[in-house]
Amino acid sequence: MSRRVYLHVGAPKTGTTYVQDRLALNADALRRHRYAYPVGPHPDMFLAALDVVQRPWGGLRPQAEGEWAALVERTRRARGTVVLSHEILAGASPTEARNAMADLSFAEVHVVYSARDLARQVAAEWQEQLKHRRKVSFATFLRQLQESDPRRSHRWFWRVQGLPGVLDRWGHGLPPERIHLVTVPQPGAPYGALWRRFCTAVGMDPEWAPLDSERRNPSIGVAESTLIRKLNARLKKAGMASEDYRALVRQLVVHETLAHRPRMKPVTLPPEAFDWAEEITEGWEDWVRASGVDVIGDLEDLRPVRPAPGTRWHDPDDPKPRDVASAALDALEALALEAARRAEPPEPPLTRAARLARLLKR
């Protein structure tokens, strides 16, 4: 089988936004090396992935109808090696994954999965859920994870972050050499390390995509997370439409405003939760070694890094009120400026006078 497709199925919060944007920015250059990233009329492959995983996703499900079939057809027509990528694919059920792989059976499919250490992923996924209108506290979110079985739980977190489960579903029936695990480097790694690892997984020279991406999916701090959690509760009662929430809260307030605040206190695991995270990670490492899948990077990157002795932990559910107030003022300023931008300009005085004069002549 001469055709080859690399299917990158996530996980969320592992640099996927950066990878996907860099692939899109360099699509023309990659074609010259017989690599295709066939996004089609959309900026990314989100709708196609949503068509696979069959989730409501804030009312966007109807827009996804037929998008996966269209992506498969573009893949079929593309020349050379094809790279497909979206992180929500990690959440596919066994049946959904099996159907998607069957749709790509005209090619030699390789599954790529990127993974990051569990301690950072718990904090990141909690914040991501806040950006999707959830209002669960960090303590409750963590307790629910600790009380559930990663291999059997239907919670979205384990569906997309549970390394063995994701690779079992997407790699079912594939030889281990066609399953590629990319570990996300720990903080302090040289710039571009993740990109180079991803390129190794898909057999691509990193220099074939010279345009760098500035897109990120940034995190927010303790106070900022509390603000969004409380705002979500208010907006749910107010009945805010999903499309308005995406534009005003997720994009404007979170991504464009709060994520850029200086000196934020990061959301991290409480010290007593690291034993739990390490135990799960050890099980994952054992599974990877026994499975024989291709590992790009270092499995040690998946081990949670404990805070230095004496480091103060900031409770994400109990920030200082003045910090929350400061974040709220920044959010309010951004919303006020956006409201002013969207408002129709006032009618100039001369125009009003001229219209009044015409009325008096009638």
Contacts of 78 (CB under 8 A, 6+ apart): 36, 38
User: Quick one: how far is CA 143 from the chain centroid?
Assistant: 22
pLDDT tens per residue, range 88-145: 999 999 999 999 999 999 999 999 999 999 999 999 999 999 999 999 999 999 999 9
pLDDT(238) > 90: yes
At 349 the pLDDT is: 56
* Bond into 238 cis (ω within 30): no
- Residue 237 to residue 259: CA distance in whole angstroms: 25
Lowest mean pLDDT among 113-127, 235-249, 339-353: 339-353
- Residue 331 to residue 226: CA distance in whole angstroms: 13
Name the β-bridge partners of 294: 180
Identify whether the C-beta of residue 29 lies closer than 8 Å to the C-beta of residue 208.
yes
pLDDT tens per residue, range 201-213: 999 999 999 999 9
- Residue 279 to residue 274: CA distance in whole angstroms: 8
- Residue 209 to residue 197: CA distance in whole angstroms: 14
User: Quick one: how far is CA 269 from the chain centroid?
Assistant: 20
Nearest to 214 by CA among 23, 37, 22, 28: 22
Q: Edge-to-edge strands of the sheet including 81-85?
A: 35-36, 81-85, 4-8, 108-115, 179-183, 294-296
The one-letter amino acid code at 26 reads: N
Half-sphere exposure of 22 (CA within 13 A, CB side): 21
Identify whether the C-beta of residue 140 lies closer than 8 Å to the C-beta of residue 271.
no
pLDDT tens per residue, range 36-55: 999 999 999 999 999 999 99
- Residue 44 to residue 59: CA distance in whole angstroms: 18
What are the strands, taking DSSP E only, across the chain? 4-8, 35-36, 81-85, 108-115, 179-183, 294-296
Percent helix, strand, coil in the chain, to 5, is 55, 10, 35
Break the chain into its structural domains and give their ranges.
4-216+271-302, 220-265+315-345
Mean pLDDT (whole number) for 258-265 = 96
To the nearest whole number, what is the mean pLDDT of the chain?
Answer: 94
For CA atoms 177, 206, 17, 277, give the dihedral sign. Answer: positive
pLDDT tens per residue, range 265-292: 999 999 999 999 999 999 999 999 999 9
At 58 the pLDDT is: 85
Structure tokens at 113: 């999965």
96 phi-psi bin (left φ>0, alpha ψ -120 to 50, beta other): alpha
- Residue 171 to residue 109: CA distance in whole angstroms: 10
| 137 sits in which H/E element | none
- Residue 241 to residue 70: CA distance in whole angstroms: 28
| 131 sits in which H/E element | none
Contacts of 280 (CB under 8 A, 6+ apart): 118, 150
**Class of CATH domain 4-216+271-302:** alpha beta
At 258 the pLDDT is: 97
Mean pLDDT (whole number) for 321-333 = 98
At 326 the pLDDT is: 98
pLDDT tier at 225 (50, 70, 90 boundaries)?
A: very high
- Is the whole model's pTM more than 0.85, yes or no? yes
- Residue 22 to residue 18: CA distance in whole angstroms: 6
